[in-house]
Structure 1
């Protein structure tokens, strides 16, 4: 009886202190285009809705599925064509915190197209030592992905191999936009 009561109290305390993640909402404006991003952040897989408009005219609404939760949103014009892009950074649940990107570009402020980031696994040289913990940011005309490098025997919580940074340029693709690897730096 006493053990059952203790378990009941422990479970009640756990569930009363478990906090649901807050829904995500962000609004960013660049070059007259307003982007709105929202996600419920209520599970390990979340729907993401991106809306864009300019002077009240809709450029479109896009939906994506995020493997994790949104950690940041940035808006930039990486290719300096006068039309902005939105970059939505996602980290997966779990100890690896594997990063992914959801991104869209304005097509001459008429519509939106997806921006594609090639997978780390597409390049054996780049994926060597990769175990997640990604950081993303934009700056100086490039999109940057940075992550710690793991050597044999390293645990996921402690890397000893330094850091790899991949810089990408935004280029027009066949059916949208692609972030093409420009430079890889290790430190």
Structure 2
């Protein structure tokens, strides 16, 4: 019975996501039904673009918890960041970024998997928090210590990462970690 109560609590925080996010007159409408914890379809509709930019739909693994818009690649046009969560407790976060190409079309911004970085993944067990601050993406999570082969406990420390959008290969854009630091959780 407790498991059923927890399951409903977990689902309650992931209602249908339908929001229009703008900077000045341009932005994005983001829609996701968030019904399935494993797979959902996201639809992004550009709003207020100079030309008729096409609506795009794609599948995600997980559910959208929230989204923000800001000029994160410093080109003078609004970009979109969606925070997607997966896992049994929906505690593992990732980011899907979309950039505006002069308010005429849109493209993806790559986001690195923290588990691919041997230094940053130490102590990572999810519980991510994200926010945009002055054109940077901020991510923080509690650091865990491994007690034995299957048990982890909070260390009382938090790791914070600062990402910035950088040019990638073949004209693509990607988030890159530019600064990390750790502090004692208060």
TM-score band w.r.t. shorter chain: 0.7 to 0.9
Deviations 1:21-57 (A, max 9, x none): 6321010111421300001111112111111132574
CA RMSD in angstroms comes to 2.5
Residue by residue over 1:108-156, the C-alpha shift from the partner in whole angstroms, topping out at 9 and shown as x without a partner, is: 1111010111110221001111111111111022111111111112856
* Structural mapping, 1:39-58, within 5 Å: 39-44=32-37, 45-54=39-48, 57-58=51-52
- In structure 2, runs of 5+ residues without a counterpart are none
Q: How many residues align?
A: 173
- Taking the aligned partners of 2:44 and 2:90, their CA distance within structure 1 comes to 26
- Larger mean CA deviation between 144-153 and 51-60 belongs to 51-60
Which structure has the bigger radius of gyration? 1
SS at match of 1:132: coil
* TM-score, normalised relative to structure 2: 0.82
Cα separation, 2, equivalents of 1:81 and 1:185 = 28
| Deviation of the 1:66 alpha carbon | 2.4
Unaligned runs of 5+ in 1: 1-9
TM, length-normalised to structure 1: 0.82
What SS does structure 2 have at the residue aligned with 1:159?
strand
* Counterpart position of 1:7: none
Match of 2:16 in 1: 23
Q: 1:31 to 1:59 in 2, by over 3 A?
A: farther
* Conservation of the 8 A alpha-carbon contact between 2:44 and 2:55: yes
Indicate conservation of the 8 Å contact 1:31/1:82, yes or no.
Answer: no
CA distance in 2 between counterparts of 1:161 and 1:123 reads: 22
Following TM superposition, where does structure 1 have runs of at least 4 consecutive aligned residues deviating by more than 3 angstroms?
A: 18-22
